[in-house]
Structure 1
Amino acid sequence: MTRLAGKVAFITGAARGQGRSHAVRLAEEGADIVAMDICAQIDTVFYPMPDEAELTETARLVEKAGGRIVTSVGDVRDRADIQRAYDAGIAEFGHIDVVAANAGIMPVIERGSEPQAWHDAVDTMLTGVWHTLEVTVPGMIERGRGGSIAITSSAAGLRSIGLNTFPGQAGYSASKHGVVGLMRLYSKQLAKHSIRVNTIHPTGVNTPMVANAEYGAFVDANPEVAADDAYKNPMPVELIEAVDVSNALVFLASDEARYITGVTLPVDAGYNNR
C-alpha cells in the first residue's frame, strides 16, 4: 500500500494508543514517521502514562511495517521540545507533509479534581496543539507542496460530556472544543498554500487512556455513568479501536482528501447523531 509514499508525518503522543496506531498505519501506506511523546507521568493524570520503552516499541512496529522513523522524547507543553523533535525529523527526512497533533491526556477523575489538572489539560491538548502547528506550518508553507494537518479532538469536542465539573474534566472539554476553533482559523489561513487542516472526533477508543483499571473502578463506583444513555454509542460497540481513527487519518493525509479542509470528522459510532 503506497497511498502516502514519499510523505513524512510528524506525530505527537506516539508512544502508544492512537498515536502509535497512527504511526504504524501511515508507515503501512508508505510514509516515514517523526514520532514524539512525553514518556513521563503528569501528576494530575490518574492512569500510568507511557515510558520510553513504549516509544521504542512504536519505532519497532513502524520499521516492521516498512517505514523509517525518528523518535524524540518531549512535552508538547514546551514549544522548544517540539522544535527539537521537528528539527530531528527535518535532519533525517528533509520535510514534513503530514501533521497529526494527537498528544492528549484525560485527567477527569481523582487527581483531576486538583486545580492544576485544568492547566495540564489545556496546556497539553490546546496550547500543545498550537505549539505543534506553529513549529510545523512554516516549513510546510516554504516547501510549497501543500500538506495535511489532522488534530485529534473528541466526540466531546462537538457535544459536551457531563462526567463531572472537576478542573481536569473542564479543561478536557474546553480543549477538545478549542482545537476546533484553531482548526477553522488555520484552515482558512492555509488554504491558499494547499495545506488542509481538519479535526477528528472519536468516541471512546480502546486505549490505555480509557481502558484502565482506575477508570473502570470509577465507573463501578458511579453506576449512573455507565447507565446514562449520554455515554452510549448508537452503533453496537462500546469502544472503537485505535485503527478506526488511524484509517480516517490516512484518508485525510492522502491525495484522496486533497480538497477536504475545515471539517470536523466524527469517527464516533453515531455518538453525535442522536
Structure 2
Amino acid sequence: MAGRVEGKVALVTGAARGQGRAHAVRLAAEGADVVVVDVCGQLPDVTYPSASEEDLDETVRQVEAQGRRAVSAVVDVRDLAGLKEAADRGVAEFGRLDVVVANAGICSPRPWDQVAPEVFANTLDVNVTGVWNTVMATAPHLASAGGGSIVLVSSAAGLKVQPFMVHYTTSKWAVRGMAKAFATELAKHSIRVNSLHPTGVATPMGEGDMQATLGAAMAGDPRLAPMFSNLLPVQVTQPEDVADVVLFLASDESRYVTAHEMAVDAGVSEF
C-alpha cells in the first residue's frame, strides 16, 4: 500500500536525527510534505551530543529525496512563540497541517538521589511543557483543516516504572495523560490524539554515553536490571520500527483510534 498519507502535511519535532528523522522520512515516503523542527543546539543535562543544523539539513535532504517538500525551523520546543511561528510558516508554505508528531525529548538517567532540582525541572520543561507547547502551537491549524492526528511520543517509561529515571519516568507518564486529555477536548474537531511508547531505540540518545551512565546506576542495585529486558528476543529496536507505527497513527487507517497508548516496546512493559 503506497500513498498512505498522500496530500497531508506533517510537523515533526526533534526531527534532525534519530526517531524524529525516521518519522519525517517515513511520512514523506507515503506522500506527506513535512515541517521539520529541532533545537539544533546543546540540550540541558544530557551526556550525548546534541543535533546540529547540518543534521536538520540532512533530514530535509532525505525528505526531498522522497519527492516531497520540507520546511525546516530551528526552534526549542520550550519556546511556544517559536513553535507557533514554525507552524504558521509551514501552513503558509503548504496550505494546511494534518499531522503532528511531538517527538522531541531528553533523557539523563541517574539514581534518584543524584537528580538535582534543576535536572528534574529541565526534564519536565522539555519533555512535558515542550509537548504541550507543540500541541498548543499546532492544534488550531488541524482544527482549521477539518481534523487530523497528533502523536505524542512518550516511552515504555510512560507505561511502567523505569529505574534510575525518576524524572524521565515522571515526564513520560505526564505525556500519556496529556494525550488522553487533549484527545477528549479536541475530538469535537475530529482531531485524534494518541501517545506512543517505544522501548530502547538505536539513536544517539539511546546509545553510547547514556548506556554507560545507566550501567553505572544499575551497578548500585542490580536487582532492577531485568526491568530493562524486552519480552521479545531483541536488545534494541530501530527508529524505522517506531516510524512505521507513527505512519499508522497518522494515516486514515487509524481514523477511529484516539486516546490510546500505543506500545512499540517489544514487550518490555510486561517486566
Please give the TM-score of this superposition, normalised by the length of structure 1: 0.92
Per-residue CA deviation, residues 53-94 of structure 1 (Å, 9 max, x unaligned), is 100111111111222100000100110111121122112101
Residue type of the partner of 2:125? D
Map 1:120-269 → 2, pairs under 5 A? 120-144=122-146, 146-163=147-164, 169-216=165-212, 218-219=214-215, 222-223=218-219, 228-269=225-266
User: How far off is 1:221 after superposition?
Assistant: 7.2
Per-residue CA deviation, residues 23-57 of structure 1 (Å, 9 max, x unaligned), is 00000000000010000002311111101110011
Residues 109 and 213 of structure 2 are in contact (CA less than 8 Å); yes or no, is this contact kept in structure 1?
no
Q: 1:120 to 1:227 in 2, by over 3 A?
A: closer
Structure 1 segments (4+ residues) deviating >3 Å? 220-227
User: How far off is 1:261 after superposition?
Assistant: 0.5
For residues 224 and 180 of structure 2, what CA distance do their matches in structure 1 show?
A: 35
SS of 1:272's partner is helix
The CA RMSD measured in Å over matched residues stands at 1.7
**Gaps in structure 2 of 5+ consecutive residues:** none
Residues 23 and 35 of structure 1 are in contact (CA less than 8 Å); yes or no, is this contact kept in structure 2?
yes
Residues 219 and 226 of structure 1 are in contact (CA less than 8 Å); yes or no, is this contact kept in structure 2?
no
For residues 250 and 184 of structure 2, what CA distance do their matches in structure 1 show?
A: 18
Say if 2:38 is the partner of 1:34: no
SS of 1:173's partner is helix
For residues 182 and 32 of structure 1, what CA distance do their matches in structure 2 show?
A: 26
Residue type of the partner of 2:44? D
Residue type of the partner of 2:244? N
Residues 97 and 140 of structure 1 are in contact (CA less than 8 Å); yes or no, is this contact kept in structure 2?
yes
Residue type of the partner of 2:266? A
Farther off after superposition, 216-225 or 206-215: 216-225
Farther off after superposition, 171-180 or 214-223: 214-223
User: How far off is 1:247 after superposition?
Assistant: 0.4
For residues 50 and 5 of structure 1, what CA distance do their matches in structure 2 show?
A: 29
User: How far off is 1:175 after superposition?
Assistant: 1.1
Residue type of the partner of 1:31? A
Number of corresponding residues: 267
Please give the TM-score of this superposition, normalised by the length of structure 2: 0.93
Residues 16 and 59 of structure 2 are in contact (CA less than 8 Å); yes or no, is this contact kept in structure 1?
yes
Say if 2:91 is the partner of 1:90: yes
